[in-house]
C-alpha cells in the first residue's frame, strides 16, 4: 500500500483497541509439547488445569499407535466430503461403534461438536411452525444453530423446570408442528448436570423431543462414559444424543446418536455434513482406540472422579466457593473480572494454569477461574495446585 493511501481495513485496528480497552482481547498461550497433566506453556512448567483432556488419552500409547497405523494404511486425508467419496470403511466402523457406545440404533460423525449442534438445529427446525426450546446456559454452538434454524426459539432460565413447562404448555408451543428441547448434559462453565429426567418427562408430556449435548459428559458420566442419558437410565427415552470427539476422546469431531431415521435424514440434509470434508483416518482410528480403552479399562474414569473429588474437597477446605459443580469441571468463584484475571496470572507464576472466565462469558458477579483435573494428575500435582491456590487466594483476599 502506498504511503498516505487510505487504509480501508483500519477499522480492524480500532476494533482490536476497543477489545483491549474492554478487557476482551484474547491472546494465545502456547503449549510447547503434549497436552499433558503437567505441561510446558509459554516456556513455563505448569500443572495444567485448563484442558478437556479428561482421561489423559491425547498421549496414551495405544491411541498414538492406532493413529500411526491408520496413516500407514489409509494415508493422511480424505480429500472429499462424506457424501461423495470421503466415507472410508473406518468411518463407518466408528459410527457403528459410537451407536453401540451410546445405546442407540445409529450415529453420524461431523467435523466437530460445534458443527454437529449447528447441523442438528438447522436440519430439524426448518419451519416457522417449529419451536426450539433451549436452556439459557447452553453452549454457543447451540445458540448459533438456533440462529440458523427457521423455527421460533424460546430460552428458559437455567434448569428451571417450571419455566420449561410454562413454555411447553403455552398455546404457541401446543400449535407448533415440532417441539425440540435442547440442553447441555453437563454445563461447561459451572460443571452442573442437567435435570434430564425432569426434562424428558416434560418433553414426553407435551409431545416434544429432547436433544442433549454431552460434550462434557461423554467419557466422563454414565456406563463407560456413555453420557447423561446412561447416567440417569434414560438411554431408551432420550431421542437425540450429541457427543464430542474433541474432549475426553482426545481427537477432534462430534457426532449425533439416535434412531436410524435420524441418521438417514441427516446424511441427505445436514449442511456441515454435505459441504465440509471428512476426518483424516488417523482421527477416526484415534476415536476407535479410545472406545476400546473405555470399554476395557474402567480405571481411567475412576481415577478422573477420584482426582476431581480430591481437588474439590481441597479447594472447599481452603474456603473457596466451587459453585454448583457436580463433575470434574470445578469453578472457583471470584466475582470480579479483573480480580479473576489477576488470580489466574499469579497462579501461573506459581506454576499452575487455571483459566479466568469473565463477563460476558459468565454473568456479572459470576466471574471465576475454571478448573478441570484429569485422570493423569497425581495427588502430588493436585497438592502443588492447592498450595498455590491457598497462597494466591490469601494474597488477593479471596479466602
Ligand atoms: C466444547 C463443546 C462443544 C464443541 O465441541 P467441539 O468438538 O470442540 O467443536 C459443544 N458443546 C459443548 C457443551 C461444549 O462444551
Whether residue 4 has pLDDT greater than 70: no
E-assigned strands of the chain? Answer: 38-41, 44-48, 106-110, 130-135, 152-156, 178-184, 209-213, 240-244, 254-258, 329-333, 352-353, 355-357, 368-372
- Cα 292 to Cα 286: distance, rounded to the nearest angstrom: 10
For residue range 222-232, what is the model confidence (pLDDT) as tens digits? 999 999 999 99
Regarding the beta carbon of 51 and ligand 1, being less than 6 Å apart is answered no
The radius of gyration computed from the CA coordinates of the chain, to the nearest angstrom, equals 22
pLDDT value at position 361? 86
Q: Is 113 in the pocket of ligand 1 (CB under 6 A)?
A: yes
Q: SS3 for 110? A: strand
The tens digit of pLDDT for each residue in 117-148 reads 999 999 999 999 999 999 999 999 999 999 99
The pLDDT of 232-259, averaged and rounded, is 98
Burial class of residue 396 (count of CB atoms within 10 Å of its CB; 0-12, 13-18, 19+) = middle
Contact call for residues 287 and 245 (beta carbons, < 8 A): yes
Does residue 2 register a pLDDT over 70?
no
Closest CA to 110 of 248, 257, 292, 238: 257
Span from the CA of 13 to the centroid of ligand 1 (angstroms): 30
Q: Indicate which residue of 247, 312, 341, 377 is catalytic.
A: 247
Please tell me the distance between residue 174's alpha carbon and the centre of ligand 1 in angstroms.
31
pLDDT one-digit tens code per residue, 39-93:
999 999 999 999 999 999 999 999 999 999 999 999 999 999 999 999 999 999 9
Cα 278 to averaged position of ligand 1 atoms, centre (Å): 18
Tell the burial category of 269 from Cβ atoms under 10 Å away from its Cβ (0-12, 13-18, 19+). middle
The owner of cell 488477593 is 396
91, 216, 279, 341: which is the annotated catalytic residue?
Answer: 216
Whether 26 shows a pLDDT value over 80: the answer reads yes
Q: 3-class DSSP state for residue 274? A: helix
Residues paired with residue 330 on neighbouring β-strands, in sequence order? 371
188 lines ligand 1 (CB under 6 A): yes
State yes or no: is 188 an active-site residue: yes
Residue 339 has a CB neighbour count (10 Å cut-off) of 16
Distance (angstroms) between ligand 1 centre and the Cα of 393 equals: 30
Q: Does residue 228 contact residue 214 with C-beta atoms inside 8 Å?
A: yes
In percent, how much of the chain has pLDDT > 90? 95
Q: Which residues of 68-94 are buried (b: 16+ CB within 10 A; e: fewer)?
A: eebeeebeeebeebbeeebbbebbeeb
- What is the tens place of the pLDDT at every residue in 334-378? 999 899 999 999 999 999 999 999 888 898 999 999 999 999 999
Cell of 357: 472466565
247 catalytically annotated: yes
Which domains can be identified in the chain, with CATH numbers? 23-52+298-395 (3.90.1150.10), 61-296 (3.40.640.10)
Q: What is the spatial distance between Cα 388 and Cα 186, in angstroms, rounded to a whole number?
A: 27
Helix (H, G, I), strand (E, B) or coil at 202: helix
- Confidence band of 29 (pLDDT split at 50, 70, 90): very high
Beta bridge partners of 186: 193
What is the rounded distance in angstroms from the CA atom of residue 394 to the CA atom of residue 399? 5
The protein residue whose alpha carbon is closest to atom 2 in ligand 1 is: 215
Q: Can you read off the three cell numbers belonging to residue 12?
A: 480492524
Instruction: Please list the residues that pair with 133 across neighbouring strands.
Output: 154, 181
Nearest partner of 251 among 274, 218, 221, judged by Cα: 218
How confident is the prediction for the chain on average, in pLDDT?
A: 97
* Nearest CA owner, ligand 1 atom 5: 113
Q: What is the pLDDT of residue 51?
A: 97
Closest to 223 (Cα-Cα) out of 326, 103, 325: 103
Amino acid at each position: 500500500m502506498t504511503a498516505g493511501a487510505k487504509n480501508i481495513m483500519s477499522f480492524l485496528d480500532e476494533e482490536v483497541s476497543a477489545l483491549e480497552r474492554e478487557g476482551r482481547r484474547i491472546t494465545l498461550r502456547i503449549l510447547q509439547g503434549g497436552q499433558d497433566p503437567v505441561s510446558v506453556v509459554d516456556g513455563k512448567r505448569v500443572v495444567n488445569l485448563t484442558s478437556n483432556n479428561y482421561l489423559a488419552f491425547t498421549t496414551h500409547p495405544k491411541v498414538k499407535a492406532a493413529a500411526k497405523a491408520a496413516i500407514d494404511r489409509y494415508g493422511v486425508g480424505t480429500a472429499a466430503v462424506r457424501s461423495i467419496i470421503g466415507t472410508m470403511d473406518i468411518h463407518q466402523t466408528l459410527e457403528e461403534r459410537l451407536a453401540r457406545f451410546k445405546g442407540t440404533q445409529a450415529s453420524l460423525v461431523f467435523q466437530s461438536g460445534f458443527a454437529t449442534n449447528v447441523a442438528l438445529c438447522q436440519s430439524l427446525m426448518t419451519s416457522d411452525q417449529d419451536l426450539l426450546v433451549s436452556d439459557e446456559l447452553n453452549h454457543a454452538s447451540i445458540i448459533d444453530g438456533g440462529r440458523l434454524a427457521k423455527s421460533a426459539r424460546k430460552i428458559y432460565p437455567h434448569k428451571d423446570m417450571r419455566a420449561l413447562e410454562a413454555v411447553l404448555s403455552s398455546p404457541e408451543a401446543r400449535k407448533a408442528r415440532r417441539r425440540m428441547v435442547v440442553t447441555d448434559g453437563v454445563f461447561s462453565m459451572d460443571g452442573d448436570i442437567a435435570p434430564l429426567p425432569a426434562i424428558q418427562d416434560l418433553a414426553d408430556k407435551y409431545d416434544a423431543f429432547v436433544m442433549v449435548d454431552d460434550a462434557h459428559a461423554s467419557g466422563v458420566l454414565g456406563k463407560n462414559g456413555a453420557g447423561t442419558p446412561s447416567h440417569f437410565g434414560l438411554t431408551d427415552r432420550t431421542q437425540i444424543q450429541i457427543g464430542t470427539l474433541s474432549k475426553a476422546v482426545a481427537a477432534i469431531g462430534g457426532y449425533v446418536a439416535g434412531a436410524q431415521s435420524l441418521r438417514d435424514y441427516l446424511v441427505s440434509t445436514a449442511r456441515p455434513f454435505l459441504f465440509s470434508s471428512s476426518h483424516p483416518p488417523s482421527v477416526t482410528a484415534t476415536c476407535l482406540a479410545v472406545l476400546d480403552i473405555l470399554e476395557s479399562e474402567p480405571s481411567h474414569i475412576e481415577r478422573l472422579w477420584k482426582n476431581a473429588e480430591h481437588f474439590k474437597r481441597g479447594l472447599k477446605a481452603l474456603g473457596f466457593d466451587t459453585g454448583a459443580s457436580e463433575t470434574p469441571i470445578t469453578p472457583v468463584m471470584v466475582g470480579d473480572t479483573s480480580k479473576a484475571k489477576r488470580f489466574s496470572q499469579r497462579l501461573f507464576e506459581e506454576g499452575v494454569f487455571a483459566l479466568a472466565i469473565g463477563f460476558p462469558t459468565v454473568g456479572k458477579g459470576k466471574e471465576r477461574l475454571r478448573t478441570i483435573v484429569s485422570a493423569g494428575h497425581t495427588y502430588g500435582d493436585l497438592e502443588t495446585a492447592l498450595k498455590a491456590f491457598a497462597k494466591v487466594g490469601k494474597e488477593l483476599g479471596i479466602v
